[in-house]
Every structure is written in C-alpha cells, then in structure tokens.
Amino acid sequence: MYFKQFLHDDLGCSSYLIASRDSREAAVIDPQPDVQQYLDLVAERRYKIVAIIDTHLHADHVSGNRDLAAATGAQLYLHEEADTLFPFHALRNGDALHLGPIVLQVVHTPGHRPEALSLLVVNPPRSPEPSMVLSGDTLFVGDVGRPDLGGPDGAIQQYHSVQKLLQLEDYVEVFPAHFEGACGKGMCGRPSSTIGFERRFNPLLQLSEPEFLKLTCQPQAQPLNMEAIIATNRGEADFEWAMPTYSGPVPEVTIDEAESLLGGKDVFLLDVREPWEYEEKRIPAAYHLPQSQLATRLSEVPQDRHVLVTCRSGGRSEKATQFLLQMGYGRVSSVLGGTQAWAESGWPVETG
C-alpha cells in the first residue's frame, strides 16, 4: 500500500491519496481545488486515480472533486445523503471500495453533516483488520467536528458517530480532514493520532452524553464565505473565487482611531459576527453582514468608502479584511479588539 497525506496550511485541511502497489489503482480523499498536486504525484509514481471520495460537503473550502474527476475519468463518490446537483456514485454504510487488495470500508458518521462518512483502511496482506481510519470531520485530534452544521440532530448524531469510531482498536491510526480551522474548536494542530490516544486524552471524549451535547450545542461562528462555498460544492453556483487566498499584511485601526473615523461620511463600518452577537451588542451604525455570507452579499459593501471591519475581538475581522483586499478593495481595515474592546473602552453600544 502507498499512503500520502497532503497538509494544506492555508485552511488547516488534509487530503489523502491511497494506492495499491500491485494494481497501481489510487483513490484521492477530500481533494483540494489545486488538483495538479495529485496528478503530478500519480504521474511520478505511475499510479492511476480511479476513485475520488469526499467525506462530506465541505463548508470552509471548495472541493476539487469534479475537476479531478474530469482530469482523470475517475469515479466520484459521496454518501447517498449528499444533496448535490451533479451526479455521483452513492456510498452507503458498510460499502467497500477495492484498490487491488486494499479495501476502503465506508462508515456513515453523520453529525457534522448529514452525509458525513469515515473510511476504514484495510491492507489484507498485512492484517484483516483496519489499521487506519480517515475520519473526515467526525473525529479530530483533540476535538470533534462541530455539529451545528448538521441540522437539529447534529449534536446527537455526532456523539453516536464518534462512539462508533471508538469501537475500533487502540492501534488504529486516525487521519482527519482538518488539523486546525473553523470546523472545530480545540484541535491541537497535529495531523494524526490513534484511537487509543484520543479515547484517553481527547477532552470531549471524556464527557457524558448530556455534557457532550451541552458543550457542542453552544453557538459558533460559521466559516468565512460558507454559503458561497457550500453552494459551489453542491453544484448550484461557481464561487471558487470565494476561497481565501490573500496572505499579505492587514491594515488595522485601534478603537480610538475607529471612533474618530466613524464621524466622517467616507467610512463604512462592517460587522461580520453572527446575528445573535449583533443583537446582543454592537457599535452604533455598524452594518451587519455575517462572514458566512460575505461573498454572496459582497455588492452590499461599498468600494468607494473606507471599510472598517469589526467582529467580537478581531480574529474574524482580520480574515474578512484579507478577503476584501483579495477582492480588490483599496481601503479596508480591521478594528483591533473588535466590539468587545469598543465596549470596554466606554464608547456607546446598541442592543436589540
């Protein structure tokens, strides 16, 4: 068996290539938009990509599944519950994909998304039992996938899906689809682990079911440009340009500078937090546009004014500012400390 993990530092994502040295057949799991990296690898090692699998419809990055399928003629696979507008081969719990002697066993693990799946990797020449699990956004290193994107039953399903994976042997290696990023709160940054280590040391796996549900049901900010990215991954639109690519310096203003600037007509204050945060407390005159909708509502952000971007404490506003710079906005700044620092400085706030 040949196994390759690709680490994509820009969004904290991982993708994978698994191949049989006997049949030369390969599968790519959770491919990124830059599909050339997979094509270069199989050309170098003389493998043939025959299967492309997404563990779920991603909310924080555009999948390269259809581009890679077009470039290779490989079959595209998703779980049968995936709600897309393009054809794919439907996978069900218990299905098995074969790459020569290598077996990829499908485990339906809903929670993060209804169609989420994990893949058990079995290499029969070495063992009849799984040695690895590609856990998608179900089980992370030090965390679990956020269940709020999975609908009203997401947290309950996530708990039981994780418990299903914990039935595996301690030695089974865990390779998730993320090692950091917006799809989990407490990922430790390591790209892999084992079932045994996570069972013992993952803090969320030490919780009872009621404690797990209470913690994971807490509201979280949705990923930047999520609506555009999901629409693209469903095949209903083409917002690949919504993927963040800008990594340069971010202009910033302090709270006092922002307060001074807001007195002028040439300034537009953009609040990219969630609706419940905006209603709870906001800077007066702030225009609300959640970061998950920024790409789909970009026309609402004027290009002829100095855009000040604020969030709770400055993390989201920095990313949103980078995206606006990427889209050609000439005057845009992130407000240091955000709404929280504004309130702590004694400046007036609005509620409701």
Strand blocks (E) in 40-192 = 48-53, 75-79, 89-91, 96-99, 102-108, 117-122, 132-136, 173-176
66 close to 86: Cβ distance less than 8 angstroms: yes
Residues of the chain with pLDDT under 50: none
- Cα separation, 226 vs 60, whole angstroms: 6
Q: What is the β-pairing status of strands 13-19 and 173-176?
A: unpaired
Fold of 246-344: Oxidized Rhodanese; domain 1 (3.40.250)
Which own/partner pairs from 122-129 qualify as long-range (CB within 8 Å, at least 24 positions apart)?
123/1, 125/101, 129/169
% of the chain surpassing 70 pLDDT: 99
Cα Rg of the chain, angstroms: 22
pTM of the prediction? 0.93
CA–CA distance, 3 with 8 (Å, rounded to integer): 16
Instruction: Give pLDDT, residue 120.
Output: 98
Domain boundaries, the chain: 2-216, 246-344
User: Left (φ > 0), alpha (ψ -120 to 50) or beta: where does 329 sit?
Assistant: beta
88's CB contacts (< 8 A; 6+ apart) are: 76, 77, 78, 82
Residue 184: predicted pLDDT: 63
Q: Residue 182: its pLDDT value, please? A: 67
Quick: pLDDT tens for 175-185.
999 998 666 67
- The b/e string for 49-76 (b: 16+ C-beta within 10 A; e otherwise) is bbbbbbbbbbbbbbbbbbbbbeebebeb
Among residues 118, 124, 200, the alpha carbon closest in space to that of 161 is found at 118
Which residues in 264-314 belong to E strands, given as ranges? 267-271, 287-288, 306-310
Q: Which CATH superfamily is domain 2-216 in?
A: Ribonuclease Z/Hydroxyacylglutathione hydrolase-like (3.60.15.10)
DSSP-H helix ranges across the chain? 36-45, 65-72, 154-165, 195-201, 209-216, 226-234, 255-261, 275-280, 315-326, 338-344
Distance CA 240, CA 228 (A): 8
Enzyme catalytic residues: 311
**50 in Cβ contact with 56 (< 8 Å):** no
The structure tokens 């924080």 sit at 60
Domains 2-216 and 246-344 share a fold: no
Tokens of 64: 């390269």
* Straight-line distance from the first to the last Cα atom of the chain, in angstroms, rounded to the nearest whole number: 58
- Dihedral (C-alpha) 272, 275, 276, 279: value to the nearest 10 degrees? 90
